[in-house]
Structure 1
Amino acid sequence: MSVRLDKLQATYGGNIESVIGTKDLKNGAITTIGGLVAGQREVVQGATPVDVTVDEILLVASPEIVYEKEKHNIHDFINKAGERYRAFHYAIGDTVTVTDDMITGTSVKDQYLIPVNGSEKLKAAADLSGGTRFAARVLDKVKLYGEPATRYKVIKN
């Protein structure tokens, strides 16, 4: 539903991608880069992870602008397929909070979040026994815009 960029190196260092995706994504989702968009110099194609042992995972987080405020609120914000949105390159030490609907399973403090092939959501994991390029440690269970949320720190990228 939503994301908060607590401490993200890319917000200061500018390591942000302009992405055009093939499906609607909520902020807090993950994506990979599928290559440059034809005819564009800096816009990349968003893709679902297919090999989490090698794919770089990026965080989808666009400004949450809702134009019809009487009909919609921030929880309704969607990055539309075929339109540009922002995706941030993670760095080790980045801290992010996402609402729990952006996580598969139930996140637990001091356990982990990992990507899964074919999914735009991170998955709760008790350990890091499976092979993955990206991993985050759950720091805390909190609320974000009144919704249950998970605060995590990137430990592997």
Structure 2
Amino acid sequence: MNMQDWSIEDGGADETTDTRPWVVNVKSELSRIDVEAECPDKTKRVIWIEINDNHLVAHCFDPLHDEPVNVRITMSGITIDSDDRGEKPLNYDTARYERMEAFVEQMARLTTPEEEFDARKGEDGTVNDDGVTYDDADEMVSDMSDDRLCDEYGAFMKLVREAKELVK
């Protein structure tokens, strides 16, 4: 079939609108639909549509990249991703998304009490701190000094404030 820019039929075409038709072929199978569009300049655009992990996924190929951009439509949203272009939610401010991603990475670098306990665990499976033996991380945390707990709380509140700034 042939297709043209929608603005031609709608009356919104101007002098920059390419009025030449595109040749579009649609092929359907039980597990996928392929759409291949040959542009007037003889380049091709390809969309491969499938259902994957309960998402409707459109794999979109352009002539300049080997990897597609994948548009994933879930029950609660739409994301786009690509192996060679990163992953970003659709309609998000890219700079904001990158700040959020950096924030999550910063939080992921913090250690948890369980990680601290495991890193200090002796051969008998306990942590000995100043003559006191702890059998698990909860017991170790319950015996932390008020200064340490206040410092941890202060660091947590700093992260909460940063998160609130990101979602404004």
- Please report the TM-score for the alignment, with normalisation by the length of structure 1: 0.21
- Higher CA-based Rg: 2
Indicate the structure whose relative CO is greater, using CA pairs within 8 Å and at least 6 residues apart.
Answer: 1
- Please report the TM-score for the alignment, with normalisation by the length of structure 2: 0.20
Higher helix share: 2
